[in-house]
Amino acid sequence: MNHGIEYKLSILFYGVDSPVNNYEYILNDIFSNYKHIDCDYILVGEENRLNKIYDVVVYNCADPTRYSHFGFPPTYEQVKNLVLNCKPKIIIQLADECFHEHNEIHNLLANLCNLFLKQHRHETQIYSYSDNLFPIPLGYVNQFYDRKKTLKPISERKYTWSWVGVLKNDRREMINSFWSMWKNIVVCNAYMPTSEVFDLYSESIFVPCGRGNFSLDCFRNYEATISGAIPVVVGPEEEINWTFNFFEEKPPWIYAQSWEEATQKCQQVQFQFDILQSMQEQNILWWKRILNNIQVKVKEALLKEVIISSTIIEELKNKENNIIKPISVIYYQ
């Protein structure tokens, strides 16, 4: 961490009682400039034990009846009540991958803070984005990123490609397409320590990134990037453009409409190490630019007090009435 700013930052992780799986990305990258960071954790239903204001609230946005590795997520009303009590300057929304769960109402929380950062962007008619709302990269899972290691140049890497993950959606077709060209390393439906995944991607030229549960966006895209590998993404051009729209800049990865086309594109540059090295460098520079943009927005947001007037509350209620609300629950134990 580059702890340069003396500001004492307070972060509340809501809906969990321990660090979430991209906790290190949030602290080491998004808030890397801050010298003092205090983190608290509360489960949904424990809000009454809070007695202070927080700079940042981080929460998981998903169907509140569905348990995930983030725990049970809160409803919109629960997050809103928490925000009104804690008055955070920044809200970070995690895991809003499933657009069909109709969690678009959560975007209205941007009216109650200076900066709203979220992981997934949905290009549907019912999703709206305010001026202080910005989609950000998912980042990487905890214990993945070894900052002490120097990235290997493309020409010195052992493997043409590698992949680690769970088979779903288009991933079997993805693996078959790449396997038909190059016999390299694939780990499917099995546990592999995250530090070893980093080591594997750091020895790979390409990392194909199949669709996640629903979205084209997944941790692997960024884990491959910071490992110095070239992510390969397949999907409809329109979906690619709005999914990976970070501060009006798309990641400089390899994109294709099919996995057959993707493998062909990789074959075309497989031995052109000058082109591949340039791609690796552009990916790293892109990552640094996006992080810098996020950090600038964070710094600006922390300099201003949050003002929630009666007019803002009234306007918020009017907006809420125009959105279909998701299923509500009280809390889980």
Is 128's pLDDT higher than 80? Answer: no
Number of Cα atoms under 13 Å in the Cβ half of residue 120: 26
CA 271/CA 173 separation, integer angstroms: 24
Average pLDDT over residues 76-80: 95
Q: Determine the CATH number of domain 154-290.
A: 3.40.50.2000
* Of 146 and 279, more confident: 279
Residues 2-40 as b or e (16 or more Cβ within 10 Å = b): eeebebebbbbbbbbeeebbbbbbbbbbbbbebeebebe
Residue 97 is predicted with a pLDDT of 82
Domain spans in the chain, listed from the N-terminal domain onward: 5-140+304-321, 154-290
The 10s digit of each residue's pLDDT in 9-65 is: 999 999 999 999 999 999 999 999 998 999 999 999 998 888 889 999 999 998 887
**Confidence class for position 197, pLDDT limits 50, 70, 90:** very high
Alpha-helical segments (H) within 3-148: 23-25, 76-86
| pTM for this prediction | 0.91
Cβ neighbours around 212 below 10 Å, total: 20
CA angle, corner 55, sides to 54 and 57, nearest 5? Answer: 75
- Mean pLDDT score of the chain, rounded to an integer? 89
CA angle, corner 175, sides to 136 and 218, nearest 5? Answer: 10
Q: Determine the CATH number of domain 5-140+304-321.
A: 3.40.50
The 10s digit of each residue's pLDDT in 202-211 is: 999 999 999 9
Is 153's pLDDT higher than 50? Answer: yes
Q: Do domains 5-140+304-321 and 154-290 have the same CATH topology?
A: yes
Is 259's pLDDT higher than 50? Answer: yes
Type of residue found at 44: V
Residue 329 is predicted with a pLDDT of 39
CA 311/CA 180 separation, integer angstroms: 61
Extract the runs of DSSP E, i.e. beta strands, from the chain: 5-14, 34-42, 56-60, 90-94, 115-118, 133-135, 159-165, 185-188, 204-209, 230-234, 254-256
Average pLDDT over residues 112-121: 94
Residue 3 is predicted with a pLDDT of 57
CA 213/CA 165 separation, integer angstroms: 12
Least confident of 39-43, 60-64, 67-71, 271-275: 67-71
Residue 127 is predicted with a pLDDT of 56
**Confidence class for position 1, pLDDT limits 50, 70, 90:** very low
Is 183's pLDDT higher than 70? Answer: yes
Average pLDDT over residues 217-238: 96
Residue 212 is predicted with a pLDDT of 86
Residue 196 is predicted with a pLDDT of 92
**Confidence class for position 116, pLDDT limits 50, 70, 90:** very high
CA 289/CA 136 separation, integer angstroms: 12
Q: How far apart are the first and last CA of the chain?
A: 35
CA 209/CA 255 separation, integer angstroms: 10
Residue 327 is predicted with a pLDDT of 45
**Confidence class for position 140, pLDDT limits 50, 70, 90:** very high
The 10s digit of each residue's pLDDT in 161-180 is: 999 998 888 999 999 999 99
Residue 184 is predicted with a pLDDT of 82
Residue 331 is predicted with a pLDDT of 33
Residue 35 is predicted with a pLDDT of 86
**Confidence class for position 330, pLDDT limits 50, 70, 90:** very low
